Amino acid sequence: MWKFFIQKKMSNDLVGSLSYTYSSSKRKDADHLSEYNFEYNQPHNLIFNAGYKISEDWQIGIKFQYATGRPYTPVADIFEKDGKYYMKEGEKNSVRYPDFHKLDIRIDRFFRFDEWTLQVFLDLWNVYNRKNIATYFWNDVE
């Protein structure tokens, strides 16, 4: 695994960071079995954060994330036996879900009092409504 990270500290009311991680995670259940992708193997992960201080009381921030789709075991065949349907699995974790990405926006408002500060925020997740796939489900319908 290796990771790259760069950050811009707050200056001129702007802050930001960019990180990229590459990793590979394989499993082997026994010496005589072949190696396969671990279920959480996501080789590429990119995150970009940026924030802007609009005024003493207002801030806005964005976060973009991209990650490689996780591996899963595909269905190789569906067959019927004695009136019931069965699923034959393919090679373990040999294909991947679609890549994942999203954009989040956050708006913060600060209310300052003599001895304390109240911070209220609104988080908008996945603002472009990307349909990221977490898993597939198969079932037999009679």
- pLDDT tier, 90 (very low <50, low <70, confident <90, very high otherwise): very high
pTM, two decimals, is 0.82
pLDDT digits (tens, 9 = 90+) for 1-57: 798 888 888 788 999 999 999 999 999 999 998 899 999 899 999 999 999 999 999
Is a pLDDT exceeding 70 seen at residue 141? no
Q: What is the pLDDT of residue 139?
A: 67
Q: What is the pLDDT of residue 86?
A: 84
Higher pLDDT, 51 or 80: 51
Q: What is the pLDDT of residue 48?
A: 97
Sequence-distant (6+) residues with CB within 8 A of 16 are 7, 8, 48, 49, 50, 51
Q: What is the mean pLDDT of residues 86-110?
A: 95
Sequence-distant (6+) residues with CB within 8 A of 40 are 25, 70
Q: What is the pLDDT of residue 12?
A: 85
Q: What is the mean pLDDT of residues 93-108?
A: 97
Kindly list the distances between the CA atom of residue 46 and the CA atoms of 17, 109, 113, 117, 132, in Å, as whole numbers in the listed order.
11, 28, 39, 33, 16
Q: What is the pLDDT of residue 9?
A: 81
Write out the two tokens for 26: 């394989």
Residues making up the chain, counted from first to last? 142
